[in-house]
Amino acid sequence: MAKKNYVSNSSESIRMFKSDFLESLSKVHFIVPVIFYVPVILYFSWKALGPGELGIWNYLGFFVFGLLFWTIFEYALHRWVFHYHPKNKFLKRVHWIFHGIHHDYPKDRLRLVMPLSASIPLATLVYFMFTLFFSNEFYLASFFSGFMVGYLIYDECHYAMHHANFKSGIMKRIKQHHMLHHYSDPEKGFGVSSSIWDGILGSGFGPDDKQKNKPKAEK
């Protein structure tokens, strides 16, 4: 019998920390990022279009640039950070907290989107990193709006991949791609909201992978 790539497929949320406070920071309902980040996106869009006076076409250009940049950021974060294999015992624990637990319990309903305790510091860090490449704060505001929309699409798609049953179309194909990552080979299929970069960078699944694992991947 093939070795399972997970511990449990239960949707119940397991405990990660002994501390109730730390435990509360590690769980989040899937709608929380939408409630928190939509106002952030609206603020940066207003900043670009209002005080920045960029005009709708400049705004849309940098917005789409940010949205597209998210796709490669998502891929790189998942492949080279979340799937980095540390040797040190402490780093192994950190890795498990950030991503390993998701592979052990892939349907844990409260750990399928990034908790604000992680996403806020990460978004803040990324924003200030972007300031090194944008001399105009209003161009950056447009770009960051698109980038954060990409993040929300990723987060909500990720929840849907694990809990929605798509019958056909692009969402079914995206779900199959992500299910193969979990249940067939976790060292392939790093794109979550899109498989574009897996195809470009050679980490996607071939027809044989999809056929061999079709029943499991579509559960």
Residue 118 in this model has a pLDDT that exceeds 80: yes
Does residue 179 contact residue 217 with C-beta atoms inside 8 Å? yes
Under DSSP, the state recorded for 55 is -
pLDDT at 191 exceeding the cut of 80: yes
CB 167 within 8 A of CB 53: no
What is the pLDDT averaged over residues 193-206?
92
Q: Which amino acid is at 207?
A: P
Q: Angle 100-122-175 (CA atoms, 0-180°, nearest 5)?
A: 50
Q: What does the buried/exposed string (b/e) look like for 18-32 if buried means 16 or more CB atoms within 10 Å of the residue's CB? A: eeeeeeeebbbebeb
Going through 32-100 in order, the beta strands assigned E by DSSP cover none
Residue 4 has pLDDT above 80, yes or no: no
Residue 52 has pLDDT above 90, yes or no: no
Helix 32-49 to helix 137-163 angle, to the nearest 10 degrees?
Answer: 160
Mean per-residue pLDDT, 65-73: 97
d(CA 143, CA 179): 31
**Percentage of the chain lying above the pLDDT 70 cut:** 93
The two structure tokens encoding residue 66: 């940010």
- Whether 219 has a pLDDT exceeding 50, the answer reads no
Candidate from 51-55, 66-70, 90-94 with smallest mean pLDDT: 51-55
pLDDT at 62 over 80: yes
Confidence of residue 146 (pLDDT cuts 50, 70, 90): very high
pLDDT (average), residues 156-172: 93
d(Cα 141, Cα 127) in Å, to the nearest integer? 9
**Look-up of token digits 């603020």:** 43
| Residue 116: closest CA among 124, 105, 107 | 124
Please report the pLDDT score of residue 214 as a whole number.
Answer: 52
- To the nearest 5 percent, what fractions of the chain are helix, strand and coil? 65, 0, 35
d(C-alpha 154, C-alpha 77), whole Å: 12
